[in-house]
Amino acid sequence: MNRVAVLGAGNGGLSIGAFLSLSGCSVQLFDKFPAAIEQIREAGGVTLKGVSRTGFAKFDMITTNVVEAIEGCRMILVVTPAFAHRELAETMAPYLDRGQKIVLNPGRTAGAIEFHMRTKVINPKADFVVAEAQSLIYACRKTGPAEVTIFKVKNEMALAALPATRTEEVLQELKPFYPQFIAAENVLETSLLNIGAIFHPTPALLNIARIENKELFEYYMDGITPCVSNVLERIDAERVAVAKAFGVKTMTCIEWLEDVYGSPHTDSDSIYEAVQKQDGYRGIKAPQNPFARYISEDVPMSLVPLAEFGRITGVPTPTMNLMIDLANLIHQKDYRAEGRTLARLGLEGVFLDDLKKFVATGTPLP
């Protein structure tokens, strides 16, 4: 981790990159879009504020060339929207030949599976391991042209590699900087514990008029009302049922808040009540773009694969499907066609037991 590539110059990428820079790492920052890094390049880095390390964090490389960014780096931290994972895998595949460790922060649902499968299609002899975090470790926002603020650091965060037999070696690399990462059983556990699938698309869809009118409101505190919470709880129950059918450990959304933030939930009867007690979400503003990532990323990369995993296990997911249909109608898109379906993941027709062996040991799928 002395030299690390951070792919993505958004809220999470800048926060992770700045923290690692201030922790003594040489950071090579990549973003696909020149405008995203123009002012950061002029400054030579970013100022980090908030509850973690603070100060000016210098980046040793700031580039729009991903191959240049990963050169010489044993650890590659991907902190982009999940819909970029496929393209990054395809671009980097010819250069993943030195046992590099790639961590998706987060993978959303089936991120590591998609990255692994696409890389192997392009370069069957690729030598690498890909892991995924269950969520982003920070609640953070870019708060200036070359400034980022970390509002809250999660107490612990599940992480798994593909195959799971290599999870520990990834954790050992991260441990000096991120002791919060703990081993999940496998990437099915991290994928099915995708709380972003609960908190992101549905509140955005049900507050779409406020967002489209550029109303200023707090996304979590104002956007998750008791009625919105009712829908979230149905989606969460479907997610938990799918995870149980896979036989992997999971927790409810309310339990997750306690686990990662330490927020009291024992007397919370709803997601609404649990969120209202969560100081880490206070001050986080709602997006003002109706095509924001909370829908355009989290529907195809979270809800779609969760519903698809429901198909493998025979668990019905009517509320997830309702939200996917609503997003398709509002955005006039087909998020199922462009999302992480079983077919696009290379898993169509795969039996449950074979999939579980694949994520556990890397046993090739039949």
- pLDDT tens, position by position, 176-211: 999 999 999 999 999 999 999 999 999 999 999 999
Quick one: three-class SS letters along the chain? CCEEEEECCCHHHHHHHHHHHHCCCEEEEECCCHHHHHHHHHHCEEEEEECCCCEEEECCEEECCHHHHHCCCCEEEECCCHHHHHHHHHHHHHHCCCCEEEEECCCCCCHHHHHHHHHHHHCCCCCEEEEEECCCCEEEEEEECCEEEEEEECCCEEEEEECHHHHHHHHHHHCCCCCCEEECCCHHHHHHCCCHHHHCHHHHHHCHHHHHCCCCCECCCCCCCHHHHHHHHHHHHHHHHHHHHHCCCCCCHHHHHHHHHCCCCCCCCCHHHHHHCCHHHCCCECCCCCCCHHHHCHHHHHHHHHHHHHHHHCCCCHHHHHHHHHHHHHHCCCHHHHCCCHHHHCCCCCCHHHHHHHHHHCCCCC
Residue 169 has pLDDT above 70, yes or no: yes
Residue 264 has pLDDT above 70, yes or no: no
Of 146-155, 192-201, 258-267, 302-311, where does mean pLDDT reach its minimum? 258-267
Q: For 63-119, how does the pLDDT look when each residue is reduced to its tens digit (9 = 90+)?
A: 999 999 999 999 999 999 999 999 999 999 999 999 999 999 999 999 999 999 999
What mean pLDDT is predicted for residues 215-239? Answer: 97
Residue 298 has pLDDT above 90, yes or no: yes
Residue 323 has pLDDT above 90, yes or no: yes
Residue 265 has pLDDT above 60, yes or no: no
Among 135-139, 203-207, 258-262, the range of highest mean pLDDT: 203-207
What mean pLDDT is predicted for residues 334-347? Answer: 95
Q: What is the pLDDT of residue 280?
A: 76
pTM of the complete model: 0.92
Residue 262 has pLDDT above 80, yes or no: no
Residue 39's pLDDT band (cuts 50, 70, 90): very high
What mean pLDDT is predicted for residues 24-52? Answer: 97
Residue 40's pLDDT band (cuts 50, 70, 90): very high
Active site residues: 200, 298
What mean pLDDT is predicted for residues 274-290? Answer: 89
What mean pLDDT is predicted for residues 301-320? Answer: 96
Q: What is the pLDDT of residue 52?
A: 85
Q: What is the pLDDT of residue 263?
A: 56
Q: Give me the chain's average pLDDT, please.
A: 95
What mean pLDDT is predicted for residues 244-269? Answer: 82
